Amino acid sequence: MKELLEKIRQDAKEAIDAASDLEALNAARVRFSGKKGELTAVLKQMGGLSAEERPIVGQLANEVRGDIENRIAEKEADLKSKATEMKLKSEKIDVTLPGKKEVLGKKHPLSIVLDEIKEIFIGMGFDVVQGPEVEYDYYNFEALNIPKDHPARDTQDTFYITDNILLRTQTSSVQIRTMEERKPPIRIIAPGRVYRSDAVDATHSPLFHQVEGLVVDKGITMSDLKGTLEVFIKALYGEESQVRFRPHHFPFTEPSAEMDVMCFACHGEGCRLCKGEGWIELLGCGMVHPKVLENCGIDPEVYSGFALGLGLERVVMRRFNIDDMRLLYENDQRFLNQF
């Protein structure tokens, strides 16, 4: 029996030494010192021993059990620390590796310029107001002195929703809404989307943006209009920029004008950008028509006003030298990241 115990001790030592992971070690524990293990099996036979032999074999058996358990405990600690070491190694963070860059969004060129325009007008005491894009015929045309049969309607190919409701073709509708709601003095700009049934090309889009301006007070004259616009253009395009006014016609202003800026590329000489003109048309404006004031319950004998309307896309394209309007709507990152 002594030999048997020594053999178990030896077999156990080999099995424990050979165990390469906790699973194998546990298998060795079950095999040698478990309840149904080899050591227990030997101890069960001790009943057949003589009274002198029993304590000796008993002592040896305890020694072997202790030996096996110590060995297992040692090996277990060893395996565990190796596992931790491996884990640490595999999870090591290399702080010298380059980081992943977050891609930041940017302001759209239309927003960049619109924000500047707002800033300039706010600085001159204007409020920024809004009106609906789905609009009544009355606000978009009728009250602006454009009756049903007026030829000006032909130039603004309108998306009608019903006979009386449409997608606004101009932000001028907000002039009427503002004058209905506020008493003079009025100083507002109204930026927003407008819609016209135009085919898409380099200079047309069925959806584009306008900025409307309106000033109404006692004693407002054409020189207020010219002065305001000159300050605006110099703030937007630089102190050296020059403007000129050409007579024009709009049903809702009298007199009406178009304002040009001197070409940035050739400074009035005439080049490709300005198509040889030396000047670039930028916006429409004029003195608010007395009929329009009347339509809004403002007495044209007491008050006068000026109005202006500019196409935002046009201003942006001239500002950044963009030759195709479609670029502004495609949201191509390669284009947008240039601003």
Residue whose CB is less far from ligand DAH, 228 or 253: 253
Residue whose CB is less far from ligand DAH, 8 or 298: 298
Q: How far apart are CA 95 and CA 75, in angstroms?
A: 34
Nearest to 222 by CA among 196, 201, 247: 247
Residue whose CB is less far from ligand DAH, 37 or 284: 284
Least distance from ligand DAH to the Cβ atom of residue 323, Å: 22
Q: How far apart are CA 95 and CA 275, in angstroms?
A: 58
Do 120 and 114 contact (CB within 8 A), yes or no? no
How far, in Å, are 125, 193, 232, 243 from residue 239 at the CA level?
Answer: 20, 29, 10, 11
Least distance from ligand DAH to the Cβ atom of residue 252, Å: 6
Nearest to 309 by CA among 211, 229, 226, 224: 211
Least distance from ligand DAH to the Cβ atom of residue 309, Å: 2
Residue whose CB is less far from ligand DAH, 8 or 285: 285
As given in the structure block, the two tokens for residue 234 are: 């110099």
Least distance from ligand DAH to the Cβ atom of residue 272, Å: 25
Residue with tokens 């390469």: 20
CA 336 to chain centroid, in Å, comes to 12
Least distance from ligand DAH to the Cβ atom of residue 182, Å: 16
Give the nearest residue (CB) to ligand DAH.
Answer: 309
Least distance from ligand DAH to the Cβ atom of residue 255, Å: 10
Which residues of the shown chain bind ligand DAH in the complex (CB under 6 A)?
170, 172, 212, 250, 253, 284-286, 307-309
- Please give the angle made by the CA atoms of 81, 23 and 45, to the nearest 5 degrees: 115
Least distance from ligand DAH to the Cβ atom of residue 316, Å: 17
Residue whose CB is less far from ligand DAH, 160 or 330: 160
Q: How far apart are CA 233 and CA 117, in angstroms?
A: 9
Residue whose CB is less far from ligand DAH, 32 or 232: 232
Residue whose CB is less far from ligand DAH, 109 or 213: 213
Q: How far apart are CA 42 and CA 58, in angstroms?
A: 10
> If phi over 0 gives left and psi between -120 and 50 gives alpha, with beta otherwise, what is residue 220?
beta
